[in-house]
Amino acid sequence: LRQIVQTRIDTLNGPAAWVVTHRSPLALNTTSDWAMLDAAGDGRLERPTARILCVPLMAGARVLGALELTRRGVDGPFTERDVDSARVMGATAGIAIENARLRQSVEESYRNTIRALASAIDAKDPYTCGHSQSVAQYSLICGLVLNLDADMMRTLETAALLHDIGKIGIDDAILRKPRKLTPAEHAVVKDHPVIGAAIVHNIGSMDEVVSYILHHHESYDGSGYPHGLKGDDIPLGARIICVADSFDSMTTDRPYRRGMTINEAMTELMRCRGTQFCPVALDAFAVGFTRYYDDLPRQPRVLEQPDRIAVPAC
């Protein structure tokens, strides 16, 4: 980013280039002002009929760019008071730009941390490598179809990436069992939404994420877990993740079965429309999958472990 910004600054010309280079405001009110600027530059500046006041955009000791103000000749020259006001505007704008960059950097670090944690969750089971990323992608295409706002899309993505974080607390012997689970083992696995919600609960500003994680195995007809919520009592984000999670699980190979084809999985989802799956979330997924599937990045489906035998999943 620093290199890109420097390149853009280096390509500036005229008053903006002078201001950035000298870190000082510049008022061009008269022909003599322009002549002085010509002498300091390459002598090829185009002189507009308007007067120009240019100030640097500063963030501490760093120059981020230049702010250029123009005034028609009939409006009178720029005064020292105008220069002072513009200097304040430049400093304020520079600080705002720098704060936006810092906020963007913090948000990107946060998102990278979430992705790394999701990858760590998936790595517990070599057969679910990429599962959390895929569930997040499928959830987001639902959100696009439903026109969810930017805040909810971010919440949905975070919850989808972390929906299985509770499996950290489940015995690996159960998660990697090569056969179907016993009722007792299945009961243990069903604790993972509660465990996951408890893990995320202590992270600030993640109340909705906690809710989505806790309820992503609820069924629309009330037959799901952990609380047997029904219909619209289930948060919309959780209903979306339920569809995305189920689709990805059905289309993923397991040691004891081959994954379904896309058509087979879609047929199964539609068979459970209104019972296990929310019609609104499922219909949005069906539309979004058809519309955006070709643009989705492909996730590796099995974690490569060349020096050891892959341990099967549940």
Domains in the chain (CATH in brackets) are 2-102 (3.30.450.40), 124-295 (1.10.3210.10)
* Mean pLDDT (whole number) for 138-148: 95
> Do the Cβ atoms of 55 and 35 come closer than 8 Å?
no
Q: Is the dihedral of CA 26, 29, 32, 35 positive or negative?
A: positive
pLDDT given for residue 298 in this prediction: 63
Q: Of the ranges 110-124, 182-196, 257-271, 290-304, which one carries the lowest mean pLDDT score?
A: 290-304
Catalytic residues: 167
pLDDT given for residue 274 in this prediction: 96
6 by Cβ neighbours in 10 Å (0-12 / 13-18 / 19+) ranks as: exposed
* Mean pLDDT (whole number) for 157-165: 93
Q: What share of the chain has pLDDT > 70, as a percent? A: 83
* Residue 9 pLDDT exceeds 70: no
* Mean pLDDT (whole number) for 73-96: 86
* Residue 309 pLDDT exceeds 50: no
Q: Which of 74-83, 86-95, 274-283, 300-309 has the highest mean pLDDT?
A: 274-283
Amino acid occupying residue 232: D
pLDDT given for residue 312 in this prediction: 36
Q: What are φ and ψ of residue 57, in 5° steps?
A: -90, 110
